[in-house]
């Protein structure tokens, strides 16, 4: 090639590279608002997470910008390769437009989304290939390429094999269909658009291969954006486009090599699609282990893709001249090595989501509510619920067992969780809804396990980002002073003794200096040990641990030695938010444990001990529809707990300042005491969720009261302390205040109606700044949908409780 031709080629490469950077910028920029929105919505822990209405429009606008850019590139009529590349990217933009409606699926509907985009895109590309083949524009795909490329595919799989885990059979099939579609689009568009401009003698400098690689890299970026869903988009963008040079090098070897390029692209895409749960990676971006594991895994996948590009760009032998025996041997060896890595380091098996079946009939608790003694009432509640659920579920559970399904019964809600590894329960749900004894079927999403090298499924985490101080607070936290809890300790000599507070959360660091002496399992001689004091339905840890920091922080506010409202109360704990993801079943596991604790491996139906149940339960969580819940999922559970005499303090959520932002169970119910948040100045927190409740159609006014919830100092794992904000911090103040009230006047224990009445009557009036976003006009009637009845007052509440001894 002459120096002039080489110079022209390099100028062409520079122009394409600049255009590629611009297109990549558009792709990445368009992702951020969606990712941030979904993450923020999940972090509220109470909102029904739904797709952003503007997301499809955003994709359409993105595709439109790309189309305009591609059309401008086509004006370079004298540059044949730039025109070809612009046509290629224009096709990618059209595919992005075609897939935009898929983004209307809610974040938890990944199966439906992938079924739609997978089959649609595969059908279109197969039809396109058929029509083009009839006109002689496409060569048949090569089978030989599969074996030749397989070792490279296996190398690209390794990070996902080791770090991730498979979902259901249906999940894996859909991952295969989507990745196959991506590979077919790449090979088809390359042959139809790029091959006429690039095939043939190439320049000795390799500029043509580099140019083609950039073009195919951007194309795969568009395909990843088109076919990925939820967090998969981020992982696909990290893993696939970086192999663009490898695709180009393979495609330059004619039909056989081009088939190899398609197989390599499909294989690289299959790794994250099959071995990572898209919704978990998306919604747990604020957790500890998933962001620490999957981004690093994606980075390793990126490095491997770049390495494949380097290796294949220097490959000099023709794909068609490889020795078949050697090719088969390399493929078999690669598969054997991958299988060994998967078995030894990975998590073999299927880890499908499950379904949660709510039965139609309910136990009658009316006669129990009038029992005057709380302990007797709790025992009766437990017996009636377990007896009724056992009998009512017997026929259905027997049939499911005969069909080979694994079931887990529940009694606090008459429900069954069912495991279906083939399809996650998609077909079973349809059959169940035909039964007269079934009310409805909900999704019950479960974690995909992490690699054994990382501690198994799921791994407890003890580190937290943020403003962490290793020393204990030197002064009483502002929330305790603001509510007057410290004055309760002095005036009434009451610090919560004799009251057991339960906490369902991310877990609790049981050896933290702030909490270890208050753990009932370490201090109560009559029930010492973990068996009836701690339950971990997620990871099965036998002793208290925290999978994040949230639970240690909330429990520290309730009764921590130096940060707690009721420091002489005792606690029992349960894990319902391992890795910041819950579901209808695991939240119910913890609620049942609070009513009737049982051994870690025991049967909740027969080994529950209502006499050891919690008096007060803090609930700094909510179950949105992304986790499988509907608004009424726990309405029977909280009614049963109230009947049993257990006080439920529930955080309102962090979706303010909009009206009707208290949206998810259990904060929306009348049988729980819902708590909003205010700051140290006495102003309502902007994030604090407001009523009225519309998600269940009740119009109920919520929250009931507001409490300190901004920059609240409390414990986090490893004997550290941190300031956190949220209604999650406000709810524990109320749980602690109830512990003080019941400790000061044991006659109130189990009397939920009177306790709530005192809390409402004793509030301090709100004198803070006017609320924004959901400003209420007119007279300051009580209760109000921003502040409820007002600011909870520990001193006034305990004073009134003492007066009623």
- Is residue 163 predicted with pLDDT exceeding 90? no
> What pLDDT does residue 342 have?
87
Mean pLDDT of 425-449: 91
Region for residue 642 given its phi and psi (left: phi exceeds 0; alpha: psi -120 to 50; beta: otherwise): alpha
> What pLDDT does residue 99 have?
83
- Is residue 463 predicted with pLDDT exceeding 60? no
User: Which of 9-13, 98-102, 608-612 has the least mean pLDDT?
Assistant: 9-13
pLDDT-derived band at 586, boundaries 50, 70, 90: very high
196-208: b (≥16 Cβ within 10 Å) or e:
ebbbeebbeebbb
Strands of the sheet with 406-410, listed across from one edge: 406-410, 415-419, 354-359, 438-444
pLDDT-derived band at 364, boundaries 50, 70, 90: very high
The highest-confidence range among 57-61, 135-139, 273-277, by mean pLDDT, is: 273-277
> What pLDDT does residue 120 have?
93
Mean pLDDT of 435-442: 96
Residue predicted with more confidence, 43 or 205 = 205
Mean pLDDT of 628-656: 96
- Is residue 78 predicted with pLDDT exceeding 80? no
CA 291/CA 297 separation, integer angstroms: 10
pLDDT-derived band at 38, boundaries 50, 70, 90: very low
> What pLDDT does residue 283 have?
56
Q: Please, are residues 419 and 343 in contact by the beta-carbon 8 Å criterion? A: no
- Is residue 331 predicted with pLDDT exceeding 80? no
Q: Per the structure block, which two tokens stand in for 221?
A: 């970026």
Mean pLDDT of 652-671: 93
CA 541/CA 563 separation, integer angstroms: 26
The H or E element spanning position 406 is strand 406-410
CB within 8 A of 54, min separation 6: which ones? none
The highest-confidence range among 92-106, 194-208, 672-686, by mean pLDDT, is: 672-686
Residue predicted with more confidence, 71 or 20 = 71
% residues pLDDT > 70 (the chain) = 84
> What pLDDT does residue 225 have?
85
Q: Please, what is the average pLDDT of the chain? A: 85
Q: What's the Cα-to-Cα distance from 706 to each of 46, 555, 559, 560, rounded to whole Å?
A: 17, 18, 19, 21
User: Which of 193-207, 396-410, 568-582, 780-794 has the least mean pLDDT?
Assistant: 193-207
pLDDT-derived band at 202, boundaries 50, 70, 90: low
Burial class (CB in 10 A: 0-12, 13-18, 19+), 683: middle
pLDDT-derived band at 52, boundaries 50, 70, 90: very low
CA 598/CA 609 separation, integer angstroms: 6
Residue predicted with more confidence, 760 or 302 = 760
Neighbours of 395 (CB within 10 A): 11
> What pLDDT does residue 287 have?
45
Tell me the pLDDT tens digit for each residue of 687-699.
999 999 999 999 9
- Is residue 409 predicted with pLDDT exceeding 50? yes
Burial class (CB in 10 A: 0-12, 13-18, 19+), 81: buried
User: Which of 30-39, 298-307, 444-453 has the least mean pLDDT?
Assistant: 30-39
Mean pLDDT of 507-519: 94
- Is residue 421 predicted with pLDDT exceeding 50? yes
CB within 8 A of 431, min separation 6: which ones? none
> What pLDDT does residue 332 have?
82
φ, ψ (nearest 5 deg) of residue 705: -145, 175
Measured distance between the N- and C-terminal CA atoms of the chain, rounded to whole angstroms: 100
- Is residue 358 predicted with pLDDT exceeding 80? yes
Tell me the pLDDT tens digit for each residue of 741-795.
999 999 999 999 999 999 999 999 998 888 777 866 544 567 889 999 999 999 9
> What pLDDT does residue 13 have?
59
% residues pLDDT > 90 (the chain) = 53
Q: Per the structure block, which two tokens stand in for 675?
A: 């708590």
The highest-confidence range among 142-146, 207-211, 481-485, 770-774, by mean pLDDT, is: 481-485
Q: Please, are residues 699 and 693 in contact by the beta-carbon 8 Å criterion? A: yes
Tell me the pLDDT tens digit for each residue of 372-393.
999 999 999 999 999 999 999 9
Burial class (CB in 10 A: 0-12, 13-18, 19+), 32: exposed
Residue predicted with more confidence, 262 or 2 = 262
| H-state helical runs in 644-773 | 727-744, 752-761
- Is residue 361 predicted with pLDDT exceeding 80? yes
């Amino acid at each position: 090639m002459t120096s002039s031709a080489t110079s022209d080629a390099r100028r062409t490469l520079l122009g394409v590279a600049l255009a590629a950077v611009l297109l990549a910028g558009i792709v990445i920029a368009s992702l951020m608002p969606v990712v941030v929105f979904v993450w923020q919505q999940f972090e509220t822990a109470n909102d029904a997470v739904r797709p952003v209405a503007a997301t499809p429009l955003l994709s359409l606008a993105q595709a439109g910008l790309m189309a305009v850019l591609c059309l401008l590139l086509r004006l370079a009529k004298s540059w044949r390769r730039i025109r070809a590349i612009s046509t290629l990217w224009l096709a990618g933009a059209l595919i992005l437009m075609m897939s935009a409606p898929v983004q209307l699926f809610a974040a938890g509907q990944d199966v439906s989304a992938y079924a739609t985009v997978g089959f649609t895109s595969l059908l279109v590309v197969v039809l396109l290939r058929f029509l083009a083949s009839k006109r002689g524009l496409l060569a048949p795909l090569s089978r030989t390429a599969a074996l030749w490329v397989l070792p490279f595919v296996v190398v690209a799989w390794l990070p996902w094999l080791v770090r991730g885990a498979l979902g259901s059979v249906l999940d894996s099939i859909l991952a295969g269909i989507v990745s196959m579609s991506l590979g077919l689009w790449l090979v088809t568009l390359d042959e139809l658009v790029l091959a006429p401009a690039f095939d043939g003698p190439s320049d000795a400098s390799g500029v043509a291969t580099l140019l083609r690689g950039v073009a195919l890299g951007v194309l795969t970026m568009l395909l990843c954006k088109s076919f990925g869903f939820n967090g998969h988009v981020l992982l696909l963008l990290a893993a696939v486009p970086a192999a663009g040079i490898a695709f180009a090098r393979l495609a330059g070897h004619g039909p056989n090599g081009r088939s190899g390029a398609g197989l390599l692209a499909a294989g690289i895409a299959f790794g994250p699609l099959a071995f990572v749960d898209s919704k978990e990676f998306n919604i747990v971006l604020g957790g500890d282990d998933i962001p620490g594991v999957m981004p690093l895994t994606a980075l390793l996948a990126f490095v491997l893709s770049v390495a494949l590009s380097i290796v294949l760009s220097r490959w000099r032998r023709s794909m068609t001249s490889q020795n078949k025996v050697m090719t088969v041997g390399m493929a078999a060896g690669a598969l054997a090595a991958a299988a060994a890595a998967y078995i030894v380091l990975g998590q073999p098996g299927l880890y499908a989501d499950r379904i949660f079946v709510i039965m139609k009939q309910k136990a009658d608790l009316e006669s129990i509510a009038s029992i005057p003694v709380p302990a007797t009432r709790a025992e009766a509640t437990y017996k009636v619920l377990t007896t009724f659920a056992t009998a009512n579920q017997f026929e259905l559970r027997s049939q499911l067992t005969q069909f080979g399904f694994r079931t887990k019964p529940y009694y606090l809600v008459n429900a069954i969780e069912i495991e279906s590894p083939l399809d996650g329960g998609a077909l079973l749900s349809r059959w169940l809804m035909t039964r007269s004894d079934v009310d409805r079927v909900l999704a019950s999403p479960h974690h995909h396990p992490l690699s054994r090298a990382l501690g198994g499924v799921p791994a407890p985490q003890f580190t937290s980002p943020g403003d962490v101080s290793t020393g204990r607070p030197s002064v009483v936290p502002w929330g305790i002073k603001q509510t007057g809890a410290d004055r309760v300790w002095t005036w009434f000599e009451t610090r919560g003794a004799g009251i057991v507070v339960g906490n369902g959360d991310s877990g609790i660091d049981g050896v933290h200096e702030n909490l270890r002496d208050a753990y009932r399992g370490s201090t109560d001689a009559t029930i010492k040990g973990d068996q009836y004091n701690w339950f971990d339905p997620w990871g099965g840890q036998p002793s208290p641990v925290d999978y994040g920091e949230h639970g240690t922080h909330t429990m520290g506010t309730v009764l921590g030695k130096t940060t707690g409202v009721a420091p002489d109360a005792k606690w029992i704990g349960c894990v319902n938010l391992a890795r910041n993801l819950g579901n209808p079943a695991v939240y119910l596991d913890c609620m049942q444990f609070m009513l009737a604790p049982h051994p870690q491996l025991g049967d909740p139906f027969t080994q529950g001990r209502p006499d050891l149940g919690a008096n007060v339960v803090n609930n700094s969580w909510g179950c949105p529809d992304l986790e499988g819940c509907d608004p009424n999922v726990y309405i029977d559970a909280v009614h049963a707990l109230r009947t049993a005499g257990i006080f439920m303090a529930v955080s309102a959520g962090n979706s303010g300042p909009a009206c009707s932002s208290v949206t998810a169970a259990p904060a929306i119910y009348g049988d729980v005491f819902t708590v909003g948040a205010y700051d140290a100045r006495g102003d309502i927190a902007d994030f604090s969720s407001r009523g009225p409740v519309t998600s269940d159609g009740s119009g109920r006014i919520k929250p009931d009261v507001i409490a300190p919830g901004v920059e609240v100092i409390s414990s986090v794992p490893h004997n550290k302390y941190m300031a956190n904000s949220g209604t999650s911090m406000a709810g524990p103040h109320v749980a602690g205040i109830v512990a003080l009230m019941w400790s000061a006047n044991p006659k109130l224990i189990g009397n939920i109606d009177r306790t709530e009445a005192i809390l409402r009557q004793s509030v301090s009036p709100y004198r803070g700044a006017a609320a924004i976003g959901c400003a209420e006009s007119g007279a300051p009637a009580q209760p109000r949908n921003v502040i409820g009845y007002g600011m909870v007052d520990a001193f006034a509440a305990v004073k009134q409780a003492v007066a009623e001894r």
